[in-house]
Structure 1
Amino acid sequence: MSDDFPLGLLFGLLALLILLSAFFSSSETGMMSINRYRLSHQANSGDRRAKRVMRLLARPDRLIGVILIGNNFVNNLAASIATIIAIHFFGEVSGPAISTALLTITILIFAEVTPKTYAAIKPERIAYPTSYALEPMLKLLYPLVWLVNAVSNGLLRLMGVKSVDSGGDSLTRDELRTVVHEAGTLIPYRHRAMLLSILDLENVTVNDIMVPRHEVLGIDLDDSLQDILTQIRTSQHTRLPVYKGDINNIIGMLHLRNAARFLSRDEVTKASIVQEAREPYFIPESTPLHTQLLNFQKQKRRIGIVVDEYGDVDGLVTLEDILEEIVGEFTTDVSEDEEIHQQDDGSHVIEGTATIRDINKMLGWQLPTDGPKTLNGLILEHLESFPEGPVCLQIGNMRMEILEIRDNLITSARCWQQLRVPRR
């Protein structure tokens, strides 16, 4: 056989076959490793190469079939030619064994490891150009590919795999969170934080972000008319709940924009104030934020009264409160004093009414949020009784010292993280 074909031709064919083997190996890895979401974006932007690759990936069984048919064909042909060459140099006894060893090492280095590694690192550089050859090859070899796929798909069905389509490449919420985290500098940090906050809306309820009942400022119709008008004129809020005697008896929500209608009159009555108030909008305390955001949009509302399972008012929540969970603080309430005060020794004096979520966000702590909502509630839950005076306690790695108690309320506490001394 070697006498019929010049050795130079055989070596040339062998080198060509090894290159073809590298082509098929790299195209398989490149096609399977390409970023499907970037590919989909480029295809939607009109990139013809991306559209061609997406057509091939739509049926991965056919794509892998044509690649492996070509790869096995060139590898087997290369093995035959290598055997002929080896027999010519080493004889019929040792030639086949030597050719097998040498060809295995050659294919591993030049047709498997090197091209596949490069394709895994730069999949687009491989997938796009190889698609020019793979698409016509798939059409040319379709009968053989169909036969191979029919047998292999039958075996897959016996194993419980019913579909070989590539699917929609959908992401779960946790997977999407990982994608956003790994975007790095491709997405600015602030934008990543907003995207993650949107994903977390489902895990937060209105009860977590509401203005608590004792901090709600409203119009009590039992007050004198003069006090009510003074409150309206000096209010720093655009909307005020109107109630009679007790905040559980809310009559409506007054938008101060509408207050001009009765303030301009010569004679103002409480009835005219109630007349301008809009019907209150009540919200169950367990409503997730993403649901409430849609409800605000549907109801054309910007503020709601949060009630518990017994119908008692717990507080109120606004559209701005939900938006701040996504974009961060963008409003300043000048009437609200800071609740967290850093000390020179690194500790923080925190008011008891400060919410656990705000403390964790501002200081980067990990205080538990699945129970009480405020620092006062957290300390009382841990102590299981109301302290008679200042005491110290530890919650996790946090040390706390109660500083002031007033009217059955822990009004302030000094908190600091306990440094863990490494064991020797």
Structure 2
Amino acid sequence: MSLFQNILIIIVLIAGAGFLSLTEIALAGARKVKLKILAESGEDRAQKVLDLQENSADFFAASQIGLNAVAILGGILGEGAFRPYFLNFVNGFYSGPWAETISFTLSFTLVTSLFILFADLMPKRLAMIAPEKIAISVINPIQVFIVVCKPLAWFINSIANVLFKIFKVNTVRDDNITFADISAVMDAGALAGVVQKQEHHFIENVFELEERNVPSSMTTRENVVYFTLKESEESIRQKLAQFPYSKFLVCSENIDDVIGYVDAKDILVRILNNQSLLQLNENTIRNVLTIPDTLTLSELLDRFRSSKEKFAVVINEYALVVGVITLSDIMTTVMGDWVIPIEADQQIIKRDENSWLIEGSTPIEDIKHALEIDEMPDDENYETLAGYMMYSLRKIPRPADFVIYSGFKFEVVDVDHFKIDQLLVTRLIDSSDLLKEESE
């Protein structure tokens, strides 16, 4: 054959190999979520791609048959077509015993470079740009190619399956989507500007409902405002005026003797109707939802939905009340400061770029967000910043006690009757400062 015919055949082989490489990467990289959306919108080819991904063994066997056959044939033709011309070129300045080897090496290098560039590298990079679109475009011709290679592909797959069974290799693809996968997609969307900052914030917090326990968002025991059965009318009026809550616990004598709760609206109606508040009775006291402190916020949402309640008392394993929580508390956890105005008594106060004043009762998840820390050590053992300090120090902290973690110094500022009221958190900028503090 002439040089032109050989070049033409090599171009055809490169094109065939490039098509197979393009198809292989596109079908492997096409995302099921996008394909399902296209299939539901009426794109039949998208469903064919999904079916092929479910049973991809025949395709990959046929693809490898085609790629290897083309590569071998291209090498044979290329070496025979170009070597004589390279030999004439080499003989122009060298006619020694290495002339044949040099011409073969040049011919092999040229053909290999052409296949790597046009049949492998470029098609695969193109396929990664838009895998779903390309997969849909090539699915029909590739199915014909699979049918043509079916007998040989079946034989190769049979051998492969036997080897997989011998070595106990699981060949089932795991397509389960985890929170980490979704979080990575959200991060990429935020970087690209597709997902707004507040939307990214909401989505992350919604997924955290599965991980955060009720104590991380409840009003703690010492901050619960409640009425007793013998509460005076003046005391009830003062609490209603002082605390802007919509619901108040009613207890027999102390907070652990919970009877129910009253809605502030019902009491205000009695006040407006000039009725006495000296006795809270069954007409105003409602049954309260009681939950264990081990529930996650997601599980609590289900409880609220099934019971039609928006208010619950949280108890521990010793049947002691540890706090109360409302549906509004959960929504605040999700929405954060995007919808809740910053108040004077907020738990985290940013003093400057590198220091914060933080209440000891602040949930540890809020600390992670504020300080942009991914993980706290052994965070399954505590719920609040005060709990972290006690767990880390292995004692009841005193003022000036500190812990250093992840480039931050957590220092106790105020302790009231063994309760850690406030801490100063400082970012350690200089690495030498960090080493100095750790040595102390």
Q: TM-score, normalised by structure 1?
A: 0.81
Alignment of 1:148-187 (within 5 A): 148-161=156-169, 163=171, 167=173, 169-183=175-189, 184-185=191-192, 186-187=194-195
Partner residue of 1:73? 69
Distance in 2 (CA, whole Å) between partners of 1:84 and 1:154 is: 39
SS at match of 1:282: strand
Cα separation, partners in 2 of 1:228 and 1:122, compared to 1, 3 Å = closer
SS at match of 1:9: helix
Distance in 1 (CA, whole Å) between partners of 2:70 and 2:386 is: 75
Partner residue of 2:328? 320
Alignment of 1:5-404 (within 5 A): 6-82=2-78, 84-85=80-81, 97=104, 100=108, 102-124=110-132, 126-161=134-169, 163=171, 167=173, 169-183=175-189, 184-185=191-192, 186-229=194-237, 231-232=239-240, 235-259=243-267, 262-263=270-271, 267-268=275-276, 270-271=278-279, 273-329=281-337, 330-331=339-340, 337-341=345-349, 343=351, 347-351=355-359, 353-362=361-370, 364=372, 373=383, 382=393, 384-385=395-396, 387=398, 391-396=399-404, 397-398=408-409, 400=411, 402=413
Aligned residues: 412
Cα separation, partners in 2 of 1:55 and 1:83, compared to 1, 3 Å = same
Deviations 1:319-353 (A, max 9, x none): 1212222222434597x734455557965445555
Distance in 2 (CA, whole Å) between partners of 1:78 and 1:412 is: 75
Note the C-alpha offset of 1:67.
1.9
Q: Mean Cα displacement is larger for which, 58-67 or 414-423?
A: 414-423
Q: Mean Cα displacement is larger for which, 110-119 or 276-285?
A: 110-119
Deviations 1:19-62 (A, max 9, x none): 21222222222222333333333333333443332232221111
Distance in 2 (CA, whole Å) between partners of 1:344 and 1:20 is: 63
Cα separation, partners in 2 of 1:237 and 1:189, compared to 1, 3 Å = same
Note the C-alpha offset of 1:284.
0.9
Q: Mean Cα displacement is larger for which, 307-316 or 26-35?
A: 26-35
Aligned-residue CA RMSD in angstroms? 3.7
Note the C-alpha offset of 1:240.
1.0
Percent identical: 22
Matched, 1:416 2:426: yes
In structure 2, the gaps of 5 or more residues are 89-98, 436-440
* Letter of the 1:243 counterpart: C
SS at match of 1:107: helix
SS at match of 1:309: coil
Note the C-alpha offset of 1:301.
1.4
Distance in 1 (CA, whole Å) between partners of 2:423 and 2:113 is: 71
Q: TM-score, normalised by structure 2?
A: 0.79
Distance in 1 (CA, whole Å) between partners of 2:159 and 2:54 is: 19
Q: Mean Cα displacement is larger for which, 51-60 or 253-262?
A: 253-262
Distance in 1 (CA, whole Å) between partners of 2:9 and 2:353 is: 78
In structure 1, the gaps of 5 or more residues are none
